[in-house]
A and B are shown apart, each in its own frame.
Chain A
Amino acid sequence: MKILIVEDEKALQQSMMQYLNTAGFQCESADNFRRALRLLDEADYDAIVLDIMLPDGDGLSLLKILKEDKKQEGVIVVSARGDVDDRILGLKLGADDYLSKPFHMAELAARLHAIIRRKQFQGMNELKAGEICVNLERREVYVNDQPVNLTRKEYDLLLFFLANKNRVISRQALAEHLCQDHQEWFDDFDLVYAHVKNLKKKLADRGCTDCIKSVYGIGYRFIC
């Protein structure tokens, strides 16, 4: 999976590259509008991470150009302006998703996976990890071919883990993923414990080996 990262902050760009590369993506990066255009001309990408505030041009105009050229890349807009209006504008212009800074690398990886899955839906409607199999179309989960009845939140959580296999995921990242816009819950790790506990229990009930390991003091790691 090829990703283009358009971000002018060097440090942020590098850590995104580092995280995504080890998470199974192939990343290239551009730190300005012109370079991004050139790279997009030269190669095809599965997805683009686009900062809308660039030194030599608005990321949103890059988005417009992409959409006019009928490019198939999925686009995640990244912005320091977490306004609702900005988000709506980005989505209106054809972005597939929106992330406001600061975001977790695990969240970015999960969103990229989701976008790429949506873009190339055919042949990708099943996710497998060890004994776990997820039918993305029907939103059903099987362990050793036995269905597991998950709530929507537990299902989301499982997909999040699957997108960040073998990575250490912090509790904050999980909390924010679970609560989305409800930031008053972000500090509440009990909420994360409760949801993860339920998920683990339901998987274990179907005889799944314990693949969600807690990492002391930090969070969890999905092992497979």
Chain B
Amino acid sequence: MHLLTRSTRTYVIYASIMMLVAIPLCYLLIHYLFIQDADEWLLHEKNLVVQQIQQHQFDFSASHAPSWQTNVMIKPIQHPQEIRSDQFYTEYVRNPLNHEQIPYRVLSSVIPSNGNYYQVFIRISLIDSEDLIQSLVLTIAVLWALLFIGWIMLSRIQSRRLWQPFYLALKQLKQFQLNQQHALQLPEQEPIQEFRELNQTLNQLTTHIVTTYQHEKEFTENMAHEMQTPLSIIQSQIDCLLQDKYLKAAHAEQLQYIHQAVRRLSRISKSLLLLTRIEHRQFEEIADIDFSELIQKNLLLIEPLIEARGLRLHYQVHACPVVRMHPFLADVLISNLLSNAVRHNIENGDIEIELMSDRLCIRNTGIAQPLEEDVFNRYRTRSHPEQGNGLGLSIVREICRTSGMQIHYQYTAPWHVFELHFQPVRIEDRITSPMLQE
């Protein structure tokens, strides 16, 4: 729910309740006032009638058969049980013309005159006042509604203007990316204190994050670089020792282990460095890479291995897509995927490579169960640590992420399927790069 919706909602609920309560109340009040008014008028009329009766000016002939000739009806009565005071009531009379119920306010009263008693009814039609009340209440309701709508709209507009700095900060925060290495630069001169503080805090926080990230990156790079020199000393000493003709076989074997460990250490640090550099988007250069050519080049290297392991390779090229990305990363991507398919295969297994215009599908046989959940994760636990350093697929994912490609893994027995989706470059848009020619 939006902030504005939320704050407006409260007002709308309040306004609706007010309308529901206030409009009937208003109606009742006006109605009451009109009745009061009518009653006063009726009393006034009664007094006139009483005066006429007592001065014998009243013409009874007209009301021998008592009926509503005018709005006054007088009935002589013999023995009143009790002389009741004035009684007001409302009655509805059907209009014979249009069968409408017409409301009347009636005053019934007993008037003594010369020993006779007269029951007097005086009435007044309320039809006009009813209409008036209805129009009045409707007008009030409409005015009220207009007032509320206007008020809510105004408050929305104002809120929006008021919250502007907040929305700006939110927008920038959403666009904030660590690897762009720019802290947020929100205006710190906001007139509203809370927003000023918010912006200041965000600026400081992102500056801190960017600096930390930068340090981490430098640390990884320095670490990776600084490690290489001592490693190369160990390496070169081993190379020299291996040449020693007095070297015993057992010692040679031990040296091999040291040797392997040194290489692994070196490679892990280089892989981590590569990952960091990809994450920091330090591979800016782009070129148009012919994937079929690249795959062919990589297959050339590993074909003897595929042969030696008795793997069957089915390579189908349905299209020759060209993808725009960093040439080095393209090479790493393809060779990592192929290496994965060969390395995690079984004896006499199969590899199927299918290259289509917008995707590359690599299927291989392997262990008869799907790989663990997050196959691309950097630090997933590995069952066979001797098979590569486990960073290969994370590098693949990182390359995909920075090059605008998608990689999916799924297991459909007996195949482990890696599907790479990419955006091919159209023929007319292709560029060539000096790196490629090299």
Do B231 and A101 have beta carbons less than 8 Å apart? Answer: yes
A186 to B387, CA, bound (A): 10
Known: A84-B328, A102-B262, A184-B339. A152 touches B300 (CB 8 A): yes
Q: Does any Cβ of A come within 8 Å of B1's Cβ?
A: no
Q: State the CA gap A9–B233 with chains docked (Å).
A: 8
Chain B, range 227-278, C-beta contacts under 8 Å to A: 228-229, 231-240, 242-243, 249, 252-253, 255-256, 259-260, 262-264, 266-267, 270-271, 273, 277
- Mostly, the B contact residues are helix
Q: Which of B236, B242, B243 has the most CB of A within 10 A?
A: B236
A188 to B260, CA, bound (A): 11
Provided the pairs A184-B335, A184-B388, A187-B386 are in contact, do residues A80 and B229 lie with their beta carbons within 8 angstroms? yes
Question: B192 within 8 Å of A by Cβ?
Answer: no
Q: Which residues of A contact B239 (CB under 8 A)?
A: 15, 19, 104-106, 170, 173
Residues of A within 8 A of B388 (CB): 184, 187
The answer, among A81, A102, A185, A198, for a CB contact under 8 Å with B339, is A185
CB pair A102 B240 closer than 8 Å: no
Interfacial chain B residues near A153, Cβ < 8 Å: 300-301, 304
Contact A11 B304 (CB under 8 A): no
Answer whether residue A18 sits at the interface, using C-beta atoms and an 8 A cutoff.
yes
Which one of B228, B300, B305 contacts A190 once the chains associate, using CB atoms below 8 Å?
A: B305
User: How far is A193 from B307 in the complex, measured between Cα atoms in Å?
Assistant: 11
CB < 8 Å neighbour of A102 from B232, B300, B307: B232
Which of under 10, 10 to 19, 20 to 34, or 35 or more describes the interface residues of B? 35 or more
A45 to chain B, nearest CB (A): 20
Q: In the complex the two chains form, is A170's CB within 8 Å of B242's CB?
A: yes
Interface string of A98-110 (1 = CB under 8 A from B): 0011111110000
CB within 8 Å of A: which of B153-174?
none
How many angstroms from the CA of A81 to the CA of B237 in the assembled complex? 21
Interface residue A40 (Cβ < 8 Å from any Cβ of B): no
In chain A, positions 171-201 with a C-beta closer than 8 Å to chain B are 172-173, 176, 178-179, 181-188, 190-191, 193-195, 197-198
Q: B267 is contacted by which of A183, A197, A216 (Cβ under 8 Å)?
A: A183
Q: Does B17 contact A (CB under 8 A)?
A: no
| A contact residues vs B (CB 8 Å cutoff) | 9, 11-12, 15-16, 18-19, 22, 80-84, 100-106, 151-153, 167-168, 170, 172-173, 176, 178-179, 181-188, 190-191, 193-195, 197-198, 215-218
Q: Which of B242, B262, B283, B336 has the most CB of A within 10 A?
A: B242
Evaluate contact between A103 and B232: CB separation under 8 angstroms. yes
User: Does A82 contact B270, Cβ atoms closer than 8 Å?
Assistant: yes
CB pair A185 B301 closer than 8 Å: yes
B309 proximal to A (CB < 8 A): yes
Q: Determine if A172 and B263 form an interchain contact, defined as CB atoms under 8 angstroms apart.
A: yes
- Given contacts A11-B237, A217-B253, whether A178 and B259 have CB atoms under 8 Å apart is no
Residue among A153, A181, A183, A197 with the highest chain B CB neighbour number at 10 A: A183
How far is it, in angstroms, between the C-alpha of A82 and the C-alpha of B226 when the chains are bound? 11
Instruction: Say whether B267 contacts A186, CB under 8 Å.
Output: yes
Supply 28 A–B pairs (Cβ within 8 Å), ascending by A.
A9-B233, A11-B236, A12-B236, A15-B236, A15-B237, A15-B240, A19-B240, A81-B225, A101-B228, A101-B232, A102-B262, A102-B266, A103-B232, A104-B235, A153-B300, A170-B242, A172-B260, A172-B263, A181-B332, A182-B331, A184-B392, A185-B335, A185-B339, A186-B267, A190-B308, A194-B305, A194-B307, A218-B256
Chain A residues whose C-beta falls within 8 Å of the C-beta of B235 in the assembled complex: 102-104
**B256 near A190 (CB under 8 angstroms)?**
no
Known: A15-B236, A153-B301, A153-B304. 19 other contacts (CB 8 A): A11-B237, A12-B229, A19-B240, A22-B243, A84-B283, A102-B228, A102-B231, A102-B232, A104-B235, A105-B239, A170-B238, A170-B259, A172-B263, A181-B331, A183-B271, A184-B335, A185-B302, A190-B308, A194-B305
Interface of A is mostly: helix
Interchain CA distance A151-B343 in the complex, whole Å: 23
Instruction: State how many angstroms separate the Cβ of A96 from the closest Cβ of chain B.
Output: 14
Q: Looking at the complex, which one of A170, A183, A194, A216 makes contact with B308 (CB distance below 8 Å)? A: A194
B305 near A9: Cβ-Cβ < 8 Å: no
Measured between beta carbons, the chain A residues less than 8 angstroms from B252 are 215-218
Chain B residues positioned under 8 Å from A197 (CB to CB):
304, 308
Measured CB to CB, the nearest residue on chain B to A106 is B239
A-B pairs with the 5 shortest C-beta distances? Answer: A102-B232, A194-B304, A15-B236, A105-B239, A101-B232
Within 8 A of A (CB), among B292-310: 298, 300-302, 304-305, 307-309
Given known pairs A183-B271, A217-B253, the reply for A12 and B240 (CB within 8 Å) is no
Whole-angstrom distance from the CB of B217 to the nearest CB of chain A? 13
Query: Which of chain A's residues has its CB closest to B235's CB?
Result: A102
